[in-house]
Structure 1
Amino acid sequence: MTKLEQLLSQYAAYHLDHKNILTHFVGIPLIVFSIMCLTARAGVMVAGFEVTLALLIIAMTVIYYLSLDKIFGFLMLLIFAVSYPLSHMIAQWSMGAWLGASLGIFFVGWVIQFIGHFYEKKKPAFMDDVIGLAIGPLFVLAEVVFMLGFRKEIEQRMLGEARRQRALMDAKIVNIS
């Protein structure tokens, strides 16, 4: 099992309910976009080009995703390339409008996430392992790719391992009770 499959499986163990997964299709992009909006305001000019904190975070994230999987990493790069200009535009709004919109989007994204975990009856993955915060967007992308019928071999290995990990998690809860 590759590192990508291990990380996706660990994350998927907390996300086996389809209602929860569907909420993540909305919540995670909103959260990521809000973080881009919040960090796109801080920047410096370098050779006539504005380098923002958002761009640095995007670059580090894409490098990490590419190290896990070239295809998923490239797809995430495309998604960031399309969404960054809008986040940068929002970062140019007045302080109140920018902050209100960015924090509002962030809050709505998290509310949607927690609604999904209500259906799942499991806490979010990041509460046990902070890497879940970085894997969440990749998980959503992978789920879309799987739904489109691609990379099914990864999906099958991920789901098998996720179900095994979930069974172990559930067994621990029963033993503690």
Structure 2
Amino acid sequence: MKSITDQLSTYKSVHLNTSNIKTHFIGIPLIIWSVALLLNIVSFDFTINSELVSVGLGTIIGLVALVYYVALYIPMAILVLIIFGPIIYSTHLFVGHEHVIVIAIGVFVGGWILQFIGHAYEKAKPAFVDDLNQLLIGPLFLIAEIYFALGLNKAMEEKVYNEAIDKRKEFESNKS
């Protein structure tokens, strides 16, 4: 498994433009919310202490992603839970809506439009084009940006940034 700095620097290498990063702070949560909404249409019922509990597929997949983030770096995984947990949980309010699929698709498309607008500013393709695992790193990247803005783990921030610059230079040289 690649380290957190390797994962984040790869993602950061095509997310150096502040306008691109800003669009991602809106687009990624919208995409996560819409995918979780669609997946939470499918739910599994469990009985715990004589109580029926229903857990959506989106919630289950979100928890699996959280385990991956814990394996990468626990402090950021905690922030993922604090920030993205409520976003995923809120989808349960819409699961029974008559137009749930239309809502989810509309939000999904809107989120991706923002992503591609951001990459137009960046003049670089999205990170997932070369590595699908980067789809999982997008939410963690946003958390890392918050984490570093709070002044936490400056050594990691510097390493991620420096490696990202090197990867971007390599990307640019291969492009021409």
Bucket of the pairwise TM-score, normalised by the shorter protein: over 0.9
Offset, 1:84: 2.8
Of the three residues 100, 115, 118, the one matched with 1:113 is 115
AA at the equivalent of 1:104:
G
Gaps of 5+ in 2: none
Of the three residues 158, 163, 166, the one matched with 2:165 is 163
Calculate the TM-score normalised by the size of structure 2.
Answer: 0.93
RMSD across aligned positions (CA)? 1.2
Offset, 1:78: 2.1
Partner Cα separation in structure 2 for residue 81 and residue 132 of structure 1: 20
Structure 1 SS opposite 2:45: strand
2:23 is aligned with 1:19: no
Of the three residues 26, 49, 70, the one matched with 1:66 is 70
Which portions of structure 1, spanning 4 or more consecutive aligned residues, are displaced by more than 4 angstroms?
none
Percent of pairs with identical residues: 36
Structure 2 SS opposite 1:91: coil
Gaps of 5+ in 1: none
Structure 2 SS opposite 1:21: helix
Of the three residues 77, 85, 109, the one matched with 1:81 is 85
Calculate the TM-score normalised by the size of structure 1.
Answer: 0.93
Pairs within 5 Å for 1:24-173:
24-47=24-47, 48-94=52-98, 97-173=99-175
Greater fraction helix: 1
Offset, 1:86: 1.3
Partner Cα separation in structure 1 for residue 17 and residue 85 of structure 2: 31
Partner Cα separation in structure 2 for residue 110 and residue 143 of structure 1: 20
Partner Cα separation in structure 2 for residue 92 and residue 117 of structure 1: 34
Offset, 1:36: 1.0
> How many pairs were matched up?
171
Partner Cα separation in structure 1 for residue 89 and residue 161 of structure 2: 35
Partner Cα separation in structure 1 for residue 21 and residue 118 of structure 2: 7
Partner Cα separation in structure 2 for residue 35 and residue 72 of structure 1: 22
> What do the CA deviations read for 1:25-53 (whole angstroms, capped 9, x no partner)?
11111101111111111012111110210
